[in-house]
Structure 1
Amino acid sequence: MTMQNRRSFLKKSLLALPAAGLIPGLAKGNSDETSSSVKRNPIGVSTYSFWRFDGPKEETPIEYCIDQAAAMGFDGIELLLIQMESEENSYLQKLKQQAFHAGLDLMGFSTHQGFVYPDRDKRQEEVDKTIHQIELAYNLGIPTMRLNTGRWGTIDSFDELMANKGIEPVLEGYTEDEGFEWVIDAIEQCIPTAEKCGVTLGLENHWGLGRTAEGVLRIVDAIDSPWLRATTDTGNFLERRREQLEMMAPETVLIQAKTYYGGGTWYTLDIDYDEVAKIFHNVGYEGYVSIEFEGKEDPMTAIPKSLERIREAFTWEA
């Protein structure tokens, strides 16, 4: 076979294979099985979707989640740090290797921290922890990491907090403005490490001072760094959803898409994902959508249904 014929053969083969679903990497994000004019966002899934804090994390190991996500046809997977069995580098590299062999991107790293503490030393502990988490993301090769603002802690029970739509009183003797100052100062200390490691921080609308789009954007705008953007969770806006999603969309580095098959644990939202997708397409968002399944149905049936629904919504004519 001549070089020219070989090139022609390879070109025809590569054009044909995505239609058969044999080269998932070429199909991700910007191509469709039938037409190059159709585009879609890559779809990932959080390991939380398989666990949902339902029992010991050892019963739903990250390795299992990677295998299941690959088998279900996801493009990537978002790792929940507290679900991991270790932070040792050998374990991190094993997960990276497994995901690579499975054809999955490690596309998000979901962490927990909080900076809403009057005690400066406590805030510094959280800063140091967050910097360490950024370094873990770097070692895993993950390009974005979810951040929380933290909350006042004046409501002890999470069930009660959810019943109150995530709203809690400010700690006595302090003001909300002081809380924002603490959070802004703390995250600013993390930015140099994020830049050095190439890990974009995504501040999530996740209760506390980040419960609303206004709260998240107040912090993002104050810090004004390309290494701090937003992780937008579709299920954490319990009012004015469309308005707040439109506010967050231009700053979004990762979408977390909640689904509730079988009914939710704390609440069930009827989210119009066609509308959500349109909001993000209007601002040119072509990044990952990470499914967070929070329903009571068996994840092995609910997560594939979630993938089908979200993939359908986030596919559009170019």
Structure 2
Amino acid sequence: MKRYIIIPLALCLFILMGCQNQKKETEMKEEKLVETNEAKGYSYSLAQWSLHREIETGRLDPFDFPKVAKELGFDAVEWVDQLYEKQIDSLGFDVVIERWKKESQKYSIDNVLIMVDLAGDLSHSDEEKRNRAVEIHRKYIDAAAYLGCHAIRVNTFGSYNPEEWSETTYDGLKRLSEYAATKNISVLAENHGWYSSDPRLLIPVIERINLPNCGTLADFGNWCIKRTKDENWGDCAEEYPDKYEGFGRLMTKAKAVSAKAYEFDENGNETTLDFDRLMQIIKDSGYNGYISVEYENEILDERQGIIATKDLLIKSANKLN
């Protein structure tokens, strides 16, 4: 004999309303997630330099960079060649690039760009050394294309004479950009010190070159336009007078952005840079590419610094007008 369980009408209604409320709550969460993602408006990549202390001290194998990036919540990376100087010398350039590709594919990571420091100075006042730099950079262009990157970042330190710097920078950047165009790769000058950190000089050179694949990597930091000694790095004697105005100039030709952070207060805000203001400049420029996370200090653990920087970027993006 079959037995039937009789459920009171009130209980049925209670269960039905509960299911409807749960469905409504789920839909609201999904809508909220969509709103949040839309408000963010940007994709974030991880600059390998953020982990340079771990790599340089041997705590992190540099080839594990994509793995760590994925663990930290990133789907895209920016490689730094100087962190592989030993590997390039011992294994060879092509082997290193092949490992980059293998590891990035293994963790479903997109390769955004290569930051090139080992290929020479494209602004060097010595023509022979400048020519050599252009030649060496070409293999990085080929590597970037192979990896699926859109660009390489180059150095333009050059002469301490502004007129000479402008001419040598024009020559080096133009010739390399012409080659890069054949590979659909952009060549980006970063505000990385000396006259490269002075948009009043750099932007006119980019405009004079007038090639769609020659632009800037606009960095939140790096505003020293004169050192105490005639060296590429060291104590700063003079900074660009208004980094926010300067950043706005760089954004007129930007094809990449590096969000550098140094120190945070108890509320998670950067104490040396106004992230809200910088993010508004990015939005106003119309830029819609990756924003690279680059923590550069020893106050926080590098991974904590990376997370703090990304969180602040998202918070600032969500407040954009």
Query: Do they superpose with TM above 0.5?
Result: yes
Q: 1:66 to 1:278 in 2, by over 3 A?
A: same
Of 124, 146, 152, 1:145 maps to 152
SS in 1 for 2:182: helix
How many residues in Structure 1 have an aligned counterpart in Structure 2?
266
Structure 1 residue 309 corresponds to structure 2 residue 316:
no
Q: Which runs of 5+ in 2 are unaligned?
A: 1-25, 224-238
User: Which residue in the other structure is 2:214 paired with?
Assistant: 228
Higher relative contact order (CA 8 A, sep 6+): 1
Structure 1 residue 204 corresponds to structure 2 residue 190:
yes
Structure 1 residue 119 corresponds to structure 2 residue 122:
no
Whole-Å separation in 1 of the counterparts to 2:61 and 2:32: 32
Whole-Å separation in 2 of the counterparts to 1:80 and 1:192: 23
User: Which residue in the other structure is 2:111 paired with?
Assistant: 106
User: Which residue in the other structure is 1:97 paired with?
Assistant: 102
SS in 1 for 2:200: helix
Letter in 2 for 1:287: G
Contact 1:93 1:139 in 2 (8 A): no
Deviations, residues 166-195 of structure 1 (Å, cap 9, x unaligned) = xxxx3xxxx421221111112211122211
SS in 2 for 1:132: helix
User: Which residue in the other structure is 2:289 paired with?
Assistant: 287
User: Which residue in the other structure is 1:271 paired with?
Assistant: 273
User: Which residue in the other structure is 1:61 paired with?
Assistant: 61
Whole-Å separation in 2 of the counterparts to 1:208 and 1:115: 14
Aligned CA RMSD, in angstroms, stands at 2.7
Q: 1:62 to 1:142 in 2, by over 3 A?
A: farther
Whole-Å separation in 2 of the counterparts to 1:269 and 1:149: 29
Deviates more, 1:59-68 or 1:270-279: 59-68
User: Which residue in the other structure is 1:24 paired with?
Assistant: none
Deviates more, 1:219-228 or 1:176-185: 176-185
Letter in 2 for 1:142: C
Letter in 2 for 1:255: V
Seq. identity, %: 18
Q: CA deviation at 1:228?
A: 0.2
Q: CA deviation at 1:256?
A: 0.6
Whole-Å separation in 1 of the counterparts to 2:128 and 2:48: 32
Q: CA deviation at 1:32?
A: 7.5
Q: CA deviation at 1:103?
A: 2.9
Q: 1:286 to 1:97 in 2, by over 3 A?
A: same
Q: 1:194 to 1:81 in 2, by over 3 A?
A: same
Within-5 A mapping of 1:153-232: 170=160, 175-232=161-218
Q: Which runs of 5+ in 1 are unaligned?
A: 1-15, 21-30, 153-169
Q: CA deviation at 1:259?
A: 1.0
SS in 1 for 2:287: coil
Deviations, residues 269-298 of structure 1 (Å, cap 9, x unaligned) = 611111111111112111111111111121
Q: CA deviation at 1:126?
A: 1.1
The alignment's TM-score, normalised by the length of structure 1, stands at 0.75
Whole-Å separation in 1 of the counterparts to 2:38 and 2:59: 43
Q: 1:305 to 1:145 in 2, by over 3 A?
A: same
Q: CA deviation at 1:39?
A: 4.3
Whole-Å separation in 2 of the counterparts to 1:216 and 1:277: 22
Deviates more, 1:41-50 or 1:187-196: 187-196
Q: CA deviation at 1:151?
A: 3.5
Contact 1:259 1:294 in 2 (8 A): yes
Whole-Å separation in 1 of the counterparts to 2:320 and 2:165: 44
Letter in 2 for 1:34: V
Q: CA deviation at 1:211?
A: 1.7
Structure 1 residue 47 corresponds to structure 2 residue 48:
yes
Q: CA deviation at 1:98?
A: 2.2
Deviates more, 1:141-150 or 1:307-316: 307-316
SS in 1 for 2:121: coil
The structure number with the bigger radius of gyration is: 2
Contact 1:32 1:40 in 2 (8 A): no
SS in 2 for 1:197: coil
Q: CA deviation at 1:52?
A: 4.4
The alignment's TM-score, normalised by the length of structure 2, stands at 0.75
